[in-house]
Amino acid sequence: MHRDFVQDVATLLTYAMQDLPDVEKMDSPMKEVKKDGLIIKNTMYKNPVLRKMHLELAEINDMRILHCVLFPDPHYALPIFGCDIVANDKTVTAAIVDVSPVHGVDDRFYSKIREISNNFTFSERRPLPLWADEIFSPYCKFMRISKSIEIANFYCIVMNYLNVFSNDIHHTLKDDVWVDTMKRYDDQVYYCNQQKKNDKTRGILEKLFDKEWADEYINTVLFDLPCLKEQQEKS
């Protein structure tokens, strides 16, 4: 049941990404990776507002892992949507969802997220690691899940956070103020660099492959840095 939950959330995320306007599938580096019982599948999309939508599904032994991040183009005042799940046949050992703040996202957006967040509580909340403290919002949900009702509740939170995020994509206009764009660019760089401090992810990849491979995967697939069109034109 818990492994099926991972696929259910993956399906929800996939439909949400595909339903956005002007979506294109991106060429995914390391689209599929297999080694020593590990299978990783990466799917990526983009549109004019989101520079990268990434869904990773991985399996090893009886464990199933989901990782999803939706990165806005820094020209748009939108947060970073993220969701991760680690589950086996018996329990969901970790489930997290958040819309991480960046410069220019006002309280109008977070008032909706706050209302959703306040409707749900979980019995086995987990503390955030130190590297995550400064990049997640106060409405981040991070927990261990063993009860069926809490599995359903987490699914609802992901769906509702996604709905708020997707609606804002339709209504957020491009911000041509360069200073504000650069602040959001810096926020995304900081978010990615903090995520790269996750020793658990790096440790698993280094153990199965090696340090060089793990670095490349983390830096080019999981948390590549944004590149503004203006920067590309200057280079």
Residue 234: per-residue pLDDT? 41
pLDDT band at 204 (very low <50, low <70, confident <90, very high): confident
What CA–CA distances, in Å, run from 172 to 6, 39, 56, 77, 144?
30, 37, 27, 7, 34
Mean pLDDT of 160-172: 96
CA angle 25, 11, 157 (to 5 degrees): 115
Question: What pLDDT digit, counting tens, does each position of 12-59 carry?
Answer: 999 999 999 999 999 987 999 998 889 999 999 999 999 999 999 999
> Are 157 and 143 within 8 A, CB to CB?
no
The residue count for the chain: 235
Question: What pLDDT digit, counting tens, does each position of 2-15 carry?
Answer: 778 999 999 999 99
Residue 1: per-residue pLDDT? 61
Q: Residue 19 maps to which CATH number? A: 3.40.1500.20
> Are 95 and 85 within 8 A, CB to CB?
yes
pLDDT band at 166 (very low <50, low <70, confident <90, very high): very high
The whole-angstrom separation of Cα 97 and Cα 70 is 12
Structural domain including 141 reads: 2-234
Mean pLDDT of 66-79: 98
The whole-angstrom separation of Cα 72 and Cα 125 is 28
The whole-angstrom separation of Cα 213 and Cα 86 is 22
Mean pLDDT of 178-198: 97
In the 8-state DSSP scheme, what is residue 90? S
The whole-angstrom separation of Cα 176 and Cα 125 is 40
The whole-angstrom separation of Cα 164 and Cα 156 is 12
**DSSP string of 27-79?**
PPTTSEEEETTEEEEEEEEE-SSEEEEEEEEEEETTEEEEEEEEEEPTTS---
Give me the number of domains the chain comprises: 1
Q: What is the pTM of this model?
A: 0.95
- Which two tokens mark 69? 């991040």
Question: What pLDDT digit, counting tens, does each position of 102-146 carry?
Answer: 999 989 999 999 999 999 999 999 999 999 999 999 999 999 998
Name the average pLDDT for the chain: 93
Question: What pLDDT digit, counting tens, does each position of 150-163 carry?
Answer: 999 999 999 999 99
